[in-house]
Structure 1
């Protein structure tokens, strides 16, 4: 997927975040924009739709054998987070969007940017995740391959400042689906 960044930016709105019981805008803490699920449209026709569904299914399968062993999970697209040059988000935990929401999956789309690393912190241990899509040679053509990261909702994380380009990341809620008795 090679998104038209200028079209997305034109329709995006400033990203709020939860501070206690309130939802606030504070560009000194989070400088980014977003498109909510109802503002996004994907062409799921033909091969592209099939590839997308296979991708989501593969991620769900991975989660069921790593983070949520023995549980059924479902990915629910929440939003597209957009961080242009200077964009960042300080340390935070994701707000849960339902009782079934227990994790987050981030998928970095095929844009190039510098900076914007994802930092994770859990039980005092910090990890830096390189979310930059990787270059891959396919049929003699170099293309970017998206990067996928998953973590539990109680994991603190932050986005370091983007220094060049635009960082586009799809954010999915990981919902644990209870099986009927």
Structure 2
């Protein structure tokens, strides 16, 4: 049916306008829905945030293999012994795992090499995870926080701009906890469109050496770690994941956007429209969790549509599909180059 509509020029995408023009839906009802869905963005939560980790104890009580408990901040003599237990940090490129210090320079410990002996750490981490859930827009949902790696940075340590891969099923974000560390440089910079979020982990106010700090960003956010120019930096990296039973969880919507959306949906005829997704998703994540895998603005917008759709009569209800759109531009004989783009969308059709 979609293919037939495409050839009748009824497909919800158009090719009119200049390269930098912002797509605008055609039709009065679709334009109204577009504006209303945009109002749901305030429920999307924050893209990246951080600061002092008030819920965590100063010292996690790190114990690594046969070494004694790691004292903080790290000093050179202890760092050498710690690095002897580590491996160089790799990075992924085109489905390959590589080691190249011009791209990434740090040392890493696996979770099974590390024991956290301070009993207050897990309790504090649970409280921090609840705060993170609220700020990401997952209030009331028990997100899970799983230790992924412990990283050690010497002078010259860094990581070029990249996106994290999903290390765990249902992973939505990355949490970086920096216990007390004495170093210069090593800021974490996260990009959201043209906006830059910079995390200095307490260096600016002089608390980096005395208190733990944290930073959170969505897993698919572009980010990089600036070069450590002096001293040593310790970081505990966690994966923030949806609970396995996510599809059974529903938030109690108290906002009014769905009310207006349900009226607009009821006015639609035999139409379809597409909602482009802002985040990147893996096939496995969508396969395992479906629409529950959506995050940030994607999740807020879809929830608004989903709640609104539940309030209209059966003959007016929309059907939702998660699809991948591929755009292909052929090379022409006049010197233009070929370009392409793949992106995920939620396709809404009646």
State the TM-score, normalizing by the size of structure 2: 0.46
Paired residue secondary structure (2:129): helix
Paired residue secondary structure (1:56): helix
1:174 aligned partner = 240
Residues 40-94 of structure 1: per-residue CA shift (max 9 Å, x gap) = 1222xxxx31x10221111111122110234320100001111100111000111
**C-alpha distance in structure 2 between counterparts of 1:165 and 1:59, whole Å:** 27
**C-alpha distance in structure 2 between counterparts of 1:84 and 1:132, whole Å:** 18
Deviation at 1:135, TM superposition (A): 5.2
2:123 aligned partner = 54
| Of 69-78 and 79-88, the range deviating more from structure 2 | 69-78
Say if 1:11 and 1:132 are closer, same or farther in 2 by CA, change over 3 A. Answer: farther
2:114 aligned partner = 40
**C-alpha distance in structure 1 between counterparts of 2:141 and 2:244, whole Å:** 8
1:63 aligned partner = 132
2:170 is aligned with 1:100: yes
Contact 2:165-2:220 within 8 A present in 1 as well: no
**C-alpha distance in structure 2 between counterparts of 1:64 and 1:127, whole Å:** 19
Paired residue secondary structure (1:69): coil
Contact 1:37-1:77 within 8 A present in 2 as well: yes
Deviation at 1:127, TM superposition (A): 2.1
| Of 68-77 and 124-133, the range deviating more from structure 2 | 124-133
**Could you say which structure has the higher strand fraction?**
1
1:146 aligned partner = 212
**C-alpha distance in structure 1 between counterparts of 2:94 and 2:194, whole Å:** 22
Contact 2:168-2:239 within 8 A present in 1 as well: no
2:182 is aligned with 1:116: no
1:139 aligned partner = none
**Structure 2 portions without partners, runs of 5+:** 1-58, 60-70, 73-77, 249-350
RMSD: 1.8
**C-alpha distance in structure 1 between counterparts of 2:115 and 2:80, whole Å:** 16
**C-alpha distance in structure 2 between counterparts of 1:132 and 1:20, whole Å:** 35
For these two proteins, the number of residue pairs brought into alignment is 170
Of 16, 30, 34, which aligns to 2:90? 16
| Of 1-10 and 165-174, the range deviating more from structure 2 | 1-10
| Of 61-70 and 108-117, the range deviating more from structure 2 | 61-70
**C-alpha distance in structure 1 between counterparts of 2:163 and 2:182, whole Å:** 26
Contact 1:17-1:25 within 8 A present in 2 as well: yes
Deviation at 1:154, TM superposition (A): 1.1
Paired residue secondary structure (2:177): strand
Per chain length, whose mean CA-contact separation is higher, i.e. which structure has more relative contact order (CA < 8 Å, sep 6+)? 1
Residues 61-100 of structure 1: pairs in structure 2 closer than 5 A: 61-67=130-136, 68-100=138-170
**C-alpha distance in structure 2 between counterparts of 1:99 and 1:32, whole Å:** 25
